[in-house]
Amino acid sequence: MSDAKPMLAGVMGWPISHSKSPRIFAHWFAAHGIEGAYVRLPVRPEDFAEVYRALGKAGFCGVNVTLPHKEAALALADEATPAARAIGAANMIRFEGGRILADNTDAYGFIENLRAGAPDWDAAAGPALVLGAGGASRAVLQALLEAGCPEIRLANRTRAKAEALAAAFGLRIRVVDWEHRAAALSNAATLANSTALGMAGQPPLAMDLSMAEPGLTVTDIVYTPLETPLLAAARAAGFAAVDGLGMLLHQARPSFRAWFGADPAVDGTLRTACLA
């Protein structure tokens, strides 16, 4: 009898019914002729630890972890990558030899999406303005710092949360007032929205782009709708604009590689499959 693991993985969250990850993996299984399964795992916070530990024994190669379990997934792991530790959360888990190995691929997904969507984008070309100081912001900050961004201006409605992130992430981060965010675009190379503003059902993000200079690249972690009011305004003003769907697609790629041993493509057919 073969002791090869079944090609079995999934995504844990609460709620999880809206996750697009099963579509991404189904598309890649078909593209690579892999007979695998990727399942939604609705897990209540109070059940998380028990289910998490049981999945490896149940034959899962790994799991993705989403809200509200990302911090617990890191805290309960046996080992964690530097990326997961820096972000303080895990979204990709491998079960190996009875151990739980935690990683975070959100920063990778953010950068790969920017590079694919704006090939001329250069992190080192100038400061970045990051809006928001929630969980998603930590991955964006880590990504931009790692990519070589010389300075990050961080604006959040609740300034204290931005101050706490700046203290955790170091000297290259400068907190600016939410009310003064438009002025912080002066000589910026990158503008990233990491708040939920602009998402369907949320208020739009009010962002005056008139202080921005040519060469600015604007990106949004929001992908419903794909063209947020922020991205539409950026495009109309002649700036490069990169939607957030690619971050979701690219962050899934290292999981597929690690669990199933094939390198899947992030391309137009995958985007179409996700939007259908």
Show the site string, 160-189: x = touches ligand ATR by CB under 6 A, - = not.
-x----------------------------
CA angle, 182 then 150 then 196, to 5° = 45
Q: How far apart are CA 208 and CA 230, in angstroms?
A: 9
- Residue 276 makes CB contacts below 8 A (sequence gap 6+) with 23
Of the candidates 69, 70, 94, 138, the residue annotated as catalytic is 70
2 annotated among ligand-binding-site residues: no
57: annotated active-site residue: no
CA angle, 53 then 136 then 269, to 5° = 85
Burial class of 229 by CB neighbour count within 10 A (0 to 12, 13 to 18, 19+): middle
Of residues 94 through 153, those in contact with ligand ATR by CB under 6 A are 132-137
Nearer to ligand ATR, 113 or 195 (CB): 195
Nearer to ligand ATR, 175 or 258 (CB): 175
> CB of 169: closest distance to ligand ATR in angstroms?
15
132 annotated among ligand-binding-site residues: yes
Q: How far apart are CA 246 and CA 113, in angstroms?
A: 5
- Assess whether the previous peptide bond of 15 is cis (omega < 30° from 0): yes
- Residue 70 makes CB contacts below 8 A (sequence gap 6+) with 89, 90, 91, 104, 135
Nearer to ligand ATR, 189 or 199 (CB): 199
Decide: is 193 part of the binding site for ligand ATR (CB under 6 A).
no
Show the site string, 145-164: x = touches ligand ATR by CB under 6 A, - = not.
-----------xxx--x---
List active site positions.
70
Q: Which residues bind to ligand ATR, rule: CB under 6 A?
A: 132-137, 156-158, 161, 195-197, 203
Binding-site residues for shikimate sit at 19-21, 66, 91, 106, 223, 251
